[in-house]
Structure 1
Amino acid sequence: MKVAVVTGASSGIGRSAAVQLAERGVGVVVTYHSNEQGAKHTVTLIEQLGGTAVALPLNIGDITGFPAFGEALRGALSGTFGRNSFDHLVNNAGFAGMAMIEDTEEGDFDRLTTGLFKGPFFLTRTLLPLLADGGSIVNVTSNATLPQVTAPGYSVYAALKGAVVVLTRYMAKEFGVRGIRVNSVAPGATRTRFADDAFAKNPEIIPELARTFTLGRIGEPDDIGMVIAMLLSEEGRWITGQDIEVSGGQNL
């Protein structure tokens, strides 16, 4: 059985990716930070499909905890899957932050930098010895990196997601010697718990936002999760170094 590690899989895009992978016969290590119940629910959904999953805590904003996570992952791989390696990594965990440039404080800037760029960078570095040759990585970015989606207040968030797009290409180049493919997926606005559960708290914004999508609606987690699963599967075997926008033609 192939095994994937999906960070931030307690809800939203991460949960969808985990479930979509399980439907394709992949075992899943689900990570969570504060939403343990959500992670357990993801595991339950996978088990109801006949799949195998385990949940592990991980704070993507605390790099000092990565070595311990690596050891916990080793134990889970051995104990749950009978493996000493895994095949797929989905760097999905992260968080939003919104402020105009003139109002951005250094502490907030540093928190976002760690959670959105430094964290995924060093987590990938930590887990590389456990990632099997011929494996694959998907980094979740954002279509906020594209010129036509510029939204005031998201300068730091978008710039850091743009840094991950560049990092994806370099990872693809450097890890290619081991046959490891690396791509990124750039969602448009998607109905998740993102930005403090903004869509659930402010449903009135959805119809107006939907008008910016060529296909007439905002995204759903499965719209993104299915693409992630495809890129990690055999169907994506000849794709690497790409940032793929999955946005229903937002602002096209």
Structure 2
Amino acid sequence: MKKVYFASDQHFGAPTPELSLPREQKFVAWLDEVKHDAEAIFLLGDLFDFWFEYKTVVPKGFVRVLGKLAEIRDSGIPIYFFVGNHDLWMNDYFETELNIPVYHDNKEFTFNGKTFLIGHGDGKGPGDKGYKRMKKVFTNPFSKWLFRWLHPDVGVSLAQYLSVKNKLISGDEDVKFLGEENEWLVLYAKRKLETQHYNYFIFGHRHLPMIIEVGQDAKYVNLGDWIGYFTYGVFDGETFELKKFEK
């Protein structure tokens, strides 16, 4: 079989469009490289540092990335998108304009007899109760309806400001490995294995590239990010690897 590629947490647009541009160009170069042997491409959320779809308006920018995704999808290569906590207000723009399905929760896939549970990873596991409560508010249809009444120049600018102030790329938070016993997604994967077996749990969100054994022939994978690591996952039909894009 050809290869299945996975990437997550690009956060394009942060901390500013100008500073984000080199990372966007690097990601487009990666897409150009992997399209030659890709069976499918999975994007696991936070592609944008903020995204909101008004009825007739989407955020300005990201033309290179969106154009490359359209080109690859038009060539017949499947692309799957999972919303993250920074682009959770995505609706049907990717589906209607790019023919890319959008998922708002984990989804199972099987490749060459290996089972995968794939998602962004936010709000999973036993901890992070404050975020889980906040996510319920943000995804509530009434909350989205209220936000939509803000003029895009106001709403998008405000959301972008708050997004950058409250995350890794601002430099205000130092993400470190917490140990298997404290990594919520590791605990989540082990709990899932009590009722159903998966060969791979593929997530983003944590921004740390790691592969951890969570059971017999079962691995938890975090893809890292495209801020400091520029890492991605690749499954060749037999094994899964994390690699760094060096170009």
TM-score, structure 2 length as denominator?
0.36
Which structure features the higher share of helix residues? 1
Which structure features the higher share of strand residues? 2
Q: Whose relative contact order is higher, 1 or 2, with alpha carbons under 8 Å and at least 6 apart?
A: 2
